[in-house]
């Protein structure tokens, strides 16, 4: 099966995307893969499969490879005498800005390119953690209490310590702090404001049980991964998460009963259905007093959460086969025709 | 002042956008305008100002004009020997799909083109009326009660007649019906499902007072239009709305007291701030028993609601001058560098 891995992006998670792409390349070695890199200047390059290593990008060697532009149906490669359009289905593996904020989804839909990944509305509701809360409240999925702080407004903190402070729209723990004393709060807020003008503050629940579940839908039917209980350190900082993004070894199932697994799946499906079709996502849940709370939606999880699936290549194949192109409204000129006729023009 | 009017789009409101662009051309005759048309196949064309009439498009004469493609910084025009990039600020005047659903916003931001119009998140919350309700509930702005019907799920109607049935994501009254008898409901639902797989049903409030208010923000300060009480026919069907979109005569102020005007402005600002920056939007409100309810957000109102502004050209000029380019995250390779150094590579 042919598939184009799209990675990079003008994002704080650019390097993570590079690592993710290299990992997915290994996991999908049975596929006929090609690689399109989006650099920090929003230029696209076709990357040789055997040049898929981190130093290709850190040393800017990609600039010597063929440049691509978007065109109806695919990525256009022009050479001196000819031009080729690369029309494969795309796996959107750009984490953070561009990939998860709806930009890439809009571009691929506009240019009529099939892709695995969240659609633009799904991006709005998962990229900014405030809007994830709006969604949860609207569809009746429980989540952690929160307060929003904004760069240009004074707000008083009502939550009591310890708290966790997060930029509203970043993943991979960038800019996130756990605050235990009032005196540390301002510094944590400033750190988060470096990455976003809106910041979310939530209670930090010490020793909370955390479970991750990934899944996708084909033909209206959900397919779930195993449930993982991620190993706990207070939280993963950027460097640890970075290493985590290259994970490729299968993890072991969380030791929880069927009832809890079903609760997690039911919350997951309520979030997914009608919103995330076309994407393989990972939801991270907390369980507090037997109650399932949605912590975060990862609409493009690191290395596609390959390690949670029993047969990752089969899952990607199945999802890719179920995709359809974006529908375009048919344009008509009925009213203009009838009005110009009425005017005798 | 230079400005590019972007219009058309693969949208059921394509013709309305053409009419809107022709009207705005007249209202901004003091500007140095250029015109970029997006056709139903998502191709862009540079349109001669003196060919800006409806029949140019209904007769497909635009296909003889220069084709443009998106490139970093603007629209690229290639001719046999040279190429030009049109870098003007853009006024996004594509109504409905493409223009109001976040696609065009994503494209212009990705290619680093300044534009007047809603950003992608703002589009998500205004294009789909379900998400407008999510937003209202989250920020404490009152709106009309509603129920959602989905093409692939059986739902029972709890609201009592009369009701209004609307496709979730279309403007300009397309697919909208007022239903007074139970027997008419299924037909109205099917009509709406022709345009969207999700349909909103709201109580139809007979004789409700309706007020429209437009506005925009520059440097954190709101600028409002006059308040209009739109002339009432039960609602405007597509043909009447179509004519309505070419309105260019100033309307008279609604005869309401200062207190109500302030209530409308306060609701408007609560919706706008932190979400619609960069756009000139129109909010349509109902007033029931002195209470202001948000009915609809028009993030790209027909002919930019020019008829509501005392000095429309000055407003557009002021808004255009306040725009900034989308921020791109700076890409670094710090982790890759440090890891490859640690590995001795």
Q: Any CB–CB contact under 8 A between A78 and chain B? A: no
Measured between CA atoms, how close is B32 to chain A, in angstroms? 27
Q: Which of B97, B106, B152 sits opposite A102 (nearest CB)?
A: B106
Q: Which of A10, A133, A150 sits opposite B328 (nearest CB)?
A: A10
Tell me: pLDDT of B238 over 60. Answer: no
- Which part of chain A has CATH 3.30.1490.20? 147-203
- Which part of chain B has CATH 3.30.470.20? 123-142+207-321
Q: Any CB–CB contact under 8 A between A239 and chain B? A: yes
The full DSSP string for A143-201 is B---EEEETTS-----SPSSEEEEETT--TTTT-EEE-SGGGHHHHHHHHHTT-SEEEE
Q: Any CB–CB contact under 8 A between A135 and chain B? A: yes
Query: What confidence score (pLDDT) does residue B244 get?
Result: 66
Query: What confidence score (pLDDT) does residue A19 get?
Result: 94
Contact B220 A109 (CB under 8 A): no
Contact B12 A329 (CB under 8 A): yes
Alpha-carbon distance B331 to A35, whole Å?
Answer: 19
The tens digit of pLDDT for each residue in B244-253 reads 667 767 777 8
Q: Which of B101, B102, B345 sits opposite A55 (nearest CB)?
A: B345
Which of B120, B148, B276 would you mutate first to test chain A, the one with the most A CBs within 10 A?
Answer: B120
Alpha-carbon distance B170 to B176, whole Å?
Answer: 9
Going along B204-268, which residue ranges are E strands? Answer: 209-218, 221-228
Tell me: pLDDT of A237 over 80. Answer: no
* Interface size, chain A vs chain B, as Cβ–Cβ contacts under 8 Å: 163
Contact A274 B198 (CB under 8 A): yes
Please give the class, per CATH, of domain A147-203.
alpha beta
Query: What confidence score (pLDDT) does residue B36 get?
Result: 98
Residue A338: band (very low, low, confident or very high) from pLDDT cuts 50, 70, 90: confident
The residue-averaged pLDDT of B332-338 equals 84
Please check whether residue B75 is in contact with residue B115, taking contact to mean a CB–CB distance below 8 angstroms: no
Residue A134: band (very low, low, confident or very high) from pLDDT cuts 50, 70, 90: very high
Residue A217: band (very low, low, confident or very high) from pLDDT cuts 50, 70, 90: very high
Q: Any CB–CB contact under 8 A between A15 and chain B? A: yes
Q: Which of A22 and B171 is assigned the larger pLDDT? A: A22
Place of tokens 């509930």: B137
Query: What confidence score (pLDDT) does residue B171 get?
Result: 66
Residue B156: band (very low, low, confident or very high) from pLDDT cuts 50, 70, 90: confident
Chain A residues touching B39 at Cβ < 8 A: 331
Tell me: pLDDT of B134 over 70. Answer: yes
Q: Which of A127-141, A210-224, A320-334, B210-224 has the lowest mean pLDDT?
A: A320-334
Strand partners, A67: A45
Q: Which of B120, B125, B333 sits opposite A57 (nearest CB)?
A: B333
The tens digit of pLDDT for each residue in B306-317 reads 999 999 999 999
Q: Any CB–CB contact under 8 A between B95 and chain A? A: no
Contact B69 A69 (CB under 8 A): yes
Chain B residues touching A336 at Cβ < 8 A: 15, 18, 54-55, 57-58
Query: In percent, how much of chain B has pLDDT > 90?
Result: 79
Q: In Å, what is the CA distance from B10 to each residue of A71, B57, B164, B337?
A: 16, 13, 26, 45
The residue-averaged pLDDT of B182-190 equals 93
Contact B121 A128 (CB under 8 A): yes
Alpha-carbon distance B106 to A204, whole Å?
Answer: 35
Contact A120 B125 (CB under 8 A): no
Tell me: pLDDT of A171 over 80. Answer: no
Alpha-carbon distance A3 to A198, whole Å?
Answer: 36
Q: Any CB–CB contact under 8 A between A274 and chain B? A: yes
Mean pLDDT of chain B: 92
Query: What confidence score (pLDDT) does residue B326 get?
Result: 84
Tell me: pLDDT of A231 over 80. Answer: no
Query: What confidence score (pLDDT) does residue A245 get?
Result: 66
Query: What confidence score (pLDDT) does residue A149 get?
Result: 94
Residue B184: band (very low, low, confident or very high) from pLDDT cuts 50, 70, 90: very high
Tell me: pLDDT of B235 over 90. Answer: no
Measured between CA atoms, how close is A14 to chain B, in angstroms? 6
Which of B113, B331, B341 would you mutate first to test chain A, the one with the most A CBs within 10 A?
Answer: B331
Residue A103: band (very low, low, confident or very high) from pLDDT cuts 50, 70, 90: very high
Q: Which of B138 and B239 is assigned the larger pLDDT? A: B138
Query: In percent, how much of chain A has pLDDT > 70?
Result: 94
Q: Which of A151-160, B114-123, B333-342 has the lowest mean pLDDT?
A: B333-342
Q: Which of B43, B96, B102 sits opposite A106 (nearest CB)?
A: B102
The tens digit of pLDDT for each residue in A12-26 reads 999 999 999 999 999
Measured between CA atoms, how close is A254 to chain B, in angstroms? 31
- Which part of chain A has CATH 3.30.470.20? 123-143+207-321
Which of B9, B53, B68, B335 would you mutate first to test chain A, the one with the most A CBs within 10 A?
Answer: B335
Query: What confidence score (pLDDT) does residue A81 get?
Result: 84
CA B119 to chain centre: 10
Measured between CA atoms, how close is B257 to chain A, in angstroms? 31
Query: In percent, how much of chain B has pLDDT > 70?
Result: 93
Spatial CB neighbours of B258, under 8 Å, sequence gap ≥ 6: none
Q: Any CB–CB contact under 8 A between B332 and chain A? A: yes
CA B21 to chain centre: 13
| Backbone angle region of B73, left / alpha / beta, with phi > 0 → left and psi within -120 to 50 → alpha | left
Contact A107 B102 (CB under 8 A): no
Mean pLDDT of chain A: 92
The residue-averaged pLDDT of B338-344 equals 68
Residue A294: band (very low, low, confident or very high) from pLDDT cuts 50, 70, 90: very high
Contact A332 B109 (CB under 8 A): no
Query: What confidence score (pLDDT) does residue A144 get?
Result: 93
Q: Which of B40, B54, B138 sits opposite A331 (nearest CB)?
A: B40
Query: What confidence score (pLDDT) does residue B291 get?
Result: 94
Which is nearest to A246 in space by CA: A17, A28, A6, A58?
A: A17
Query: What confidence score (pLDDT) does residue A233 get?
Result: 60
**CA closest to A70 among chain B residues:** B70
Contact B329 A109 (CB under 8 A): no
What does the block give as tokens for B246? Answer: 């070419």
In the sheet that holds B209-218, the strands lie side by side as B221-228, B209-218, B281-288, B291-298
Chain A residues touching B11 at Cβ < 8 A: 329, 331
What does the block give as tokens for B68? Answer: 């443009």
Residue A77: band (very low, low, confident or very high) from pLDDT cuts 50, 70, 90: very high
Q: Which of B47 and A345 is assigned the larger pLDDT? A: B47
Chain A residues touching B40 at Cβ < 8 A: 328-331
* A123-143+207-321 homologous superfamily: ATP-grasp fold, B domain (3.30.470.20)
**CA closest to A341 among chain B residues:** B55
Tell me: pLDDT of B162 over 80. Answer: yes
Alpha-carbon distance B342 to B340, whole Å?
Answer: 5
Chain A residues touching B107 at Cβ < 8 A: 106-107, 110
H-helix or E-strand spanning residue B5: strand B2-8
Q: What is this model's ipTM? A: 0.94
Fold of A2-117: Rossmann fold (3.40.50)
* B123-142+207-321 homologous superfamily: ATP-grasp fold, B domain (3.30.470.20)
Measured between CA atoms, how close is A338 to chain B, in angstroms? 11
Q: Any CB–CB contact under 8 A between B135 and chain A? A: yes
Helix, strand, coil percentages, rounded to 5, for chain A: 35, 25, 40
Contact B10 A329 (CB under 8 A): yes
Q: Which of A132-141, A193-202, B249-258 has the lowest mean pLDDT?
A: B249-258
Alpha-carbon distance B307 to B316, whole Å?
Answer: 13
Q: Any CB–CB contact under 8 A between B242 and chain A? A: yes
């Amino acid at each position: 099966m042919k598939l184009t891995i799209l990675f990079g992006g003008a994002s704080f998670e650019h390097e993570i995307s590079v690592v993710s792409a290299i990992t997915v390349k290994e996991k999908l070695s049975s596929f006929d893969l090609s690689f399109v890199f989006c650099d920090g200047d929003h230029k696209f390059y076709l990357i040789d499969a055997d040049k898929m290593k981190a130093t290709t990008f850190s040393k800017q060697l990609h600039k010597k490879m063929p440049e691509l532009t978007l065109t109806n149906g695919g990525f256009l490669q022009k050479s001196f005498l000819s031009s080729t359009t690369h029309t494969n289905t795309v796996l959107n593996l750009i984490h953070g800005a561009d990939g998860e904020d709806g930009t890439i989804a809009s571009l691929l839909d506009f240019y009529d390119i099939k892709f695995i990944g969240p659609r633009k509305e799904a991006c709005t509701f998962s990229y900014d953690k405030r809007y994830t809360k709006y969604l949860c409240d609207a569809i009746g999925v429980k989540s952690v209490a929160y307060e929003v702080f904004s760069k240009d407004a004074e707000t008083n903190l009502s939550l009591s310590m310890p708290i966790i402070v997060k930029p509203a729209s970043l993943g991979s723990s960038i800019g996130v702090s756990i605050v235990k004393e009032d005196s540390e709060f301002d510094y944590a807020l400033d750190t988060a404001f470096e990455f976003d003008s809106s910041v979310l503050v939530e209670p930090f629940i010490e020793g909370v049980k955390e479970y991750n579940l990934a899944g996708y839908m084909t033909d209206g039917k959900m397919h779930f991964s195993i449930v993982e209980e991620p190993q706990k350190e207070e939280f993963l900082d950027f460097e640890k998460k970075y290493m985590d993004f290259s994970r490729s070894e299968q993890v072991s199932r969380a030791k929880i009963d069927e009832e809890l697994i079903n609760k997690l799946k039911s919350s997951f499906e309520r979030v997914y259905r009608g919103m995330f079709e076309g994407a393989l996502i990972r939801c991270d849940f907390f369980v507090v007093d037997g109650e399932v709370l949605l912590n975060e939606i990862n609409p493009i999880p690191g290395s596609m959460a390959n390690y949670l699936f029993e047969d990752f290549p089969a899952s990607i194949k199945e999802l890719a086969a179920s995709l359809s192109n974006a529908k375009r409204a048919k344009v008509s000129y009925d009213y203009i025709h009838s009005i110009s006729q009425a005017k005798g023009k």
